[in-house]
Amino acid sequence: MNRLEKTRSLILCALFAALTAVLSQIAIPIQPVPVNLATFSVFVAGGVLGAKRGAISQAVYVLLGVIGLPVFASFSGGMGILLGPTGGYIVGYVAAAWLVGLLSARCHGKAYWFALSMAGGLALCYLLGTAWYMVVAHTGLVESLLLCVVPFLPGDAAKIAVAALLVPVLRKTLSKAGMAVSV
Q: Is 140 left (phi over 0), alpha (psi -120 to 50) or beta?
A: beta
DSSP string, 29-64: --SSS-EESHHHHHHHHHHHHHHHHHHHHHHHHHHH
Helix/strand/coil for 136: helix
pLDDT for res 125: 98
Residue 15 confidence (pLDDT): 97
Quote the pLDDT of residue 183.
Answer: 47
Residue 99 · residue 121 · CB < 8 Å: yes
Note the pLDDT of residue 107. Answer: 83
Nearest Cα neighbor of 21 from 4, 40, 1 is: 40
Residues of the chain scoring pLDDT < 70:
32, 180-183
